[in-house]
A and B are shown apart, each in its own frame.
Chain A
Amino acid sequence: MAVPRFWRNIPARYNLIGTKCLTCEKCYFPPRTTCPACRRAGKIEMHKFEGIGEVVTYTVIHSASEGFDRQTPYVLAIIRLDEGPCMTAQIVCDPNEIEIGMKVQSIFRKIAEEGPDGVICYGTKFAPKR
């Protein structure tokens, strides 16, 4: 992935900035330019998520893609944020600790060892909410 492609998503990746539709009041992450529910009738504005959510499902990755292979085994999950939308992210915890329904909170971390063009990618992971 080219550097600008990663860089242009930095607000979303670093600070969990997504969007909210003023017409239906639904929140979306990552940001969208059109509300999938209201389409042309939607009114989109930026929305910062609190970063608190719950594990919907998870896996422990043993065989990873390039850039992630030095982190294995690691926990990957689908998290439902308290504001509604779901996202995919890593959970920083012991693989034996993870379970469906676990409360988690976002943390700022290095995501990929050597991402686009050798640049280290930072972004959001989650950890068990203490």
Chain B
Amino acid sequence: MREVAIIGVGCTNFGEMWNRSFRDIFVEAGLSALEDASVEGEEIDALFVGNMSAGKFIDQEHIGSLIADYAGLASLHVPAVRLGAACASGGVALSQGVLAVASGYYDIVVAGGAEKMTDVGTGGAIDALASAADREWEVLMGATFPGLYAMIARLHMHKYGTTREQLAMVAVKNHLNATMNPKAQYRGEISIDEVMSSSLVADPLRILDCSPITDGAAAVVLAPAEIAKKYTESPVYVKASAQATDTISLHDRRDITTLDATVYAAKKAYKIASIRPIDIDLAEVHDCFTIGEICAIEDLGFVPKGNGGPATEDGLTALDGKIPVNPSGGLKACGHPVGATGIKQAVETVLQLRGEAGKRQVSGAEVGLTHNVGGTGGTAVVHILSINR
């Protein structure tokens, strides 16, 4: 297997973009990644596109062809594959792109992700997101997606004494980080009180515990490490790419408060990269709900199980903490265009490792981790990126 590097990154603004289509945003992200990598269209061997549900959001399937076409690559007949794993579609696209380059089958690969969520009403978007859960035995029994995470939160509070305030602190921190990210959907600070008094969605989760509905796209350009320096002075190396699955239904898990898919993907990634959780300088984790980040920092091994709440309260995950988590603002405040999220996490990590993250720069960052979850944990993808080969 060959070592793989990220030689270029691109990302659209995240938010509600009424005047822009699915194809517009994907092309913008892809072109900016190619420009960043100084790669010409003729050099591209394949496209891997993460997309959760264009079928439900924009009534469009056959995404590979559509994207190749509007990126100007159909005339070159570049192979293009769309990958779906709910909210982890982007992470899976990155992983498959990395494997394709590592195997030696392709050299230059674009791994991207896109979701256009605001062409349907809120009801339509909520229904599309619900298809990440078990439609027959969760959704049709009355579950909503926030409701499932609320049940994780409720049990976490019961078992470990995690407080309602600690959940709110995740949102407050991520919104603060997003004030320094010009591409973020929400650029304003919020307070603990505002989170705690926002409207109840699924008790104990309130609206400010939830990530928003977002339009957005992101892309990275991958190349074999041995030729990466031909394109860029600052390649970022993919030290590990690992994916794991678990039961699609939350109720069938070994432990409701642990995402075993995260645990397994992380363990595998640490082993491949030969590093420990303590070696990670920053992480972009899957905070689709505030409880998601608490579970993530535990399941990724940053803190012992059950300590996610107190660790957040103590500032461990703050921008100036020991392991800054979600410097981009996370899904919570930067936004969560589901299929794009896993790629956006890689884009943010690359910018951080290159020292190009502006006001939200984590100083001296050399190793970063991305963590992307599908559904309530039926899929998890972990990548470890480093400036050192």
Residues of A within 8 A of B (CB): 1, 5-6, 9, 30, 56-66, 68, 71, 73-74, 76-78, 85-90, 95, 100, 111-112, 115, 121, 123
In the complex, what residues of B have CB within 8 A of residue A30's CB? 136-137
| CB-based nearest A residue for B139 | A65
Residues of B within 8 A of A (CB): 123, 126-127, 130, 135-144, 146-147, 150-152, 154-155, 158, 199-205, 249-252, 256
| CB-based nearest A residue for B201 | A63
Contact of A62 among B130, B135, B155, B202 (CB under 8 A): B202
| CB-based nearest A residue for B199 | A62
Apart from A1-B140, A59-B150, A62-B202, 13 more pairs, CB < 8 Å: A57-B155, A65-B130, A68-B142, A71-B142, A73-B200, A73-B203, A76-B141, A76-B151, A76-B202, A86-B251, A87-B251, A88-B250, A95-B203
* Bound-state Cα–Cα, A65 to B256, Å: 22
- 10 A-B pairs with least C-beta separation: A59-B150, A57-B155, A86-B251, A60-B203, A57-B151, A62-B200, A78-B251, A59-B202, A90-B142, A63-B201
In the complex, what residues of A have CB within 8 A of residue B251's CB? 56, 78, 86-88
Interchain CB contact under 8 A, A111 and B140 = yes
Interchain CB contact under 8 A, B140 and A86 = no
* Bound-state Cα–Cα, A65 to B144, Å: 6
* Bound-state Cα–Cα, A65 to B141, Å: 11
Interchain CB contact under 8 A, A64 and B144 = yes
| CB-based nearest A residue for B123 | A66
Contact of B252 among A60, A68, A86, A112 (CB under 8 A): A86
Contact of B256 among A57, A60, A85, A95 (CB under 8 A): A57
Interchain CB contact under 8 A, A57 and B137 = no
In the complex, what residues of A have CB within 8 A of residue B252's CB? 85-86
